[in-house]
Amino acid sequence: MKTPRELGLRWPAEWEPHRATWLVWPHNRSTWPGRLEGAEQAFVEMVRALHGVEEVCIGVQDEAHGERVAKLLAQAGPSDGQTLKVIPTNDAWVRDHGPVFLTDTDGEVHAVDFRFDAWGKKYPPWELDDAVAAQISELRGTPCHRADFVLEAGSVDGNGAGTILTTASCLLGDNRRLPGEPKRSIERMQQRLRDWLGAECVLWLGEGIVGDDTDGHVDDIARFVSELVVVAAVEPDPSDANHAPLAENLDRLQRMRDARGRPFDVVPLPMPPPVFVDGLRCPASYANFYLANDVALVPVFGSPSDQRALDVLREVLPDRQLAPIPARDLVLGLGACHCVTQQEPAGP
């Protein structure tokens, strides 16, 4: 079987034109104990912000669940441009268990189905989630390429020109190894990213943020907003546990170069104050935004730092409206706007 690289496929950047945004509607009460309805309201706000911007495709558990979701969305506004599909899941994190869409030289869309094991077998069962990517690919009629290793799309961020950001703490961990899989190494994982996502250059950051159960997904700490511009989360309070690892990642980024040897414009993005829900510190980060057509969904947490973060993002995303999404309930599930979305590129 040829790899996506051998087939000439490319991973488009998130800011390139989309056909649709994919969501899986939240339903797992153990993920949002006592706050599921609040998480649903955040989804309603995201769908409302995407209305008229691009198609929104939503996975639901069954017909009854779909009827309930449709009613919630109808109460919030127009429902044209929304498609509900029955896709049974264990949980809602489509960024990680859904497909990663690539395009060929003619612009035709393909799907990559990476294996999924609930972030290193932390939250069984995950069998339904591991089947999501193939189902979405079949619904869309795209060729599907099944990988033989675990990878979550929240653990990688690409600039569309061959450079990928990731973290050693996540990609090199033994907890994601499948039976019989060799020990993970930088060399082996870089080759996999070359073969499956077209990486010409892989840039390695260190630790993630406090409360992140993914072992350090990059979408909470540093994100491309254009080919040579990266926003990097920073914590100015030296007493905060996030201060040192984020400072180290910022320093690394400032010394890094892209696949063509060019430096990046690294823009600091403030962190919110610690967000505790029922005594649990959650992985709250403004870096967990999502870039749709003409709009950016940005998690906000009811803090004065919300406005400072929005001001930074407005400067680096001048061609997009910013849609603040109240995320205090959503982040109790240990993720935010980027974690629950997946972009499908526009076709030819």
CB 218 within 8 A of CB 156: yes
Give start and end residues of each alpha helix (H) in 91-147.
94-97, 118-121, 127-130, 132-140
Q: Determine the pLDDT at residue 348.
A: 86
- CA distances 189 to 33, 109, 185, 315, Å, are 35, 24, 6, 34
**Model confidence over 211-225: pLDDT tens digits?**
999 999 999 999 999
Q: Rounded distance, CA 161 to CA 166, Å?
A: 15
Is residue 280 predicted with pLDDT exceeding 90?
A: no
Q: Rounded distance, CA 38 to CA 29, Å?
A: 11
pLDDT over 70, % of the chain: 100
pLDDT over 90, % of the chain: 97
Exposed, middle or buried, 2 (CB in 10 Å: 0-12/13-18/19+)?
Answer: exposed
* Dihedral pair phi/psi, residue 98, rounded to 5°: -85, 180
Three-state DSSP class for 259? coil
Is 339 a known active-site residue?
Answer: yes
**Model confidence over 42-91: pLDDT tens digits?**
999 999 999 999 999 999 999 999 999 999 999 988 888 999 999 999 99
- For residue 10, what is the DSSP state? B
CB 338 within 8 A of CB 219: yes
Is residue 174 predicted with pLDDT exceeding 90?
A: yes
Looking at every residue in the chain, the average pLDDT score rounds to: 97
CB 266 within 8 A of CB 252: no
Per CATH, is 18-345 categorized as 3.40.50.2300?
no
Of 96, 99, 74, the C-alpha closest to 84 is 74
Structure tokens at 132: 């999501």
Residues 6+ away with beta carbon under 8 Å from 343: 14, 18, 20, 21, 22, 101, 290, 291, 292
